[in-house]
Copies of this chain bind each other. A is one copy, B any other.
Amino acid sequence: MYYLLLLLLLLRHNTGYDFFTSAGLKASDLQLRFCTNETQLNREAFVDKLKSLGFDISVSEVFSPAPAAVAVLKERGFRPHLLVYDGLLPEFDSVDKTNPNCVVIGDAAEKFTYQNLNEAFRVLIGLEKPVLFSLGGGRYYKEGDGLALDVGAYMKALEYACDLKAEVVGKPSPTFFQSVLNDMGLQPHEALMIGDDLVNDVGGAQNCGMKGLQVRTGKYRWVMF
């Protein structure tokens, strides 16, 4: 029997609702998790948005890069210097941030100032072994008034300046999928990942030992094949 990891990039693509409801997944006895790379909203705000769209879900069912990062930080004894969107800060409330020994960046948007980037850089370059966590590796995304650089671009800037390779927390990182599996108490072969992104969803899950199911909605384009 498969348990279910369900990914829907609902907010940006406005799809998946029919799939979600018509499949009757919510009414089944399958375990569900929603896996998103959202890093501007904390889970409470994310769930509120989904609820306003008619979804019956709870915070405990949502998995995003921030809580995954928190788990990694605690497990490995890291105290982060944070460069993230203000709305995401509550996710890190339980983490010791004194005397930082790593840097975590998310899609900080207008908080990606010259001063804030220099500050993050100085923390990194001052460490004996600089460690950078990036909450995703996206190149850019569409916002209200046009395209905007995503966290991946700033990750590359810091990687180059510090001559290091960032650890990406979020899809398609195996660490991300494994943290969701850990939360569910499942082995990879017991889980199925459903998504509209061939690389980040289906490919990422398969690299982690899970099965992946590609839907032809959302960002799916037939030219991907």
Within 8 A of B (CB), among A97-142: 109-115, 117-118, 121-122, 125, 139-140
Which B residues touch A117, using CB under 8 A? 112, 149
Q: Are B147 and A158 in contact (CB under 8 A)?
A: no
Q: Are A153 and B161 in contact (CB under 8 A)?
A: yes
Q: Are B121 and A147 in contact (CB under 8 A)?
A: yes
A48 smallest CB distance to B (angstroms): 26
Please, which residue of chain B has its CB at the minimum distance from the CB of A121? B149
- Residue of A140, A146, A149 with highest tally of chain B CB at under 10 A: A149
Which B residues touch A114, using CB under 8 A? 109-113, 149
A148 smallest CB distance to B (angstroms): 5
Q: Are B154 and A125 in contact (CB under 8 A)?
A: no
The answer to whether residues A157 and B161 also contact, given A109-B114, A114-B112 and a CB cut-off of 8 A, is no
Interface size (A, Cβ < 8 Å)?
30
**Selected contact of A154 from candidates B113, B148, B157, B159, CB within 8 Å:** B157
Which B residues touch A140, using CB under 8 A? 121, 125, 161
A86 smallest CB distance to B (angstroms): 14
Residue-wise, chain A 71-115 has the 8 Å CB interface mask toward B (1 for contact) of 000000000000000000000000000000000000001111111
Residue-wise, chain A 144-172 has the 8 Å CB interface mask toward B (1 for contact) of 00111110111011111111000000000
A127 smallest CB distance to B (angstroms): 13
Show 22 residue pairs from A and B whose CB-CB distance is below 8 angstroms, ordered by the A residue: A109-B114, A110-B115, A111-B114, A118-B149, A121-B147, A121-B148, A121-B149, A121-B153, A122-B146, A122-B147, A125-B147, A139-B160, A139-B161, A140-B161, A149-B157, A149-B161, A150-B161, A153-B157, A153-B160, A153-B161, A156-B156, A157-B157
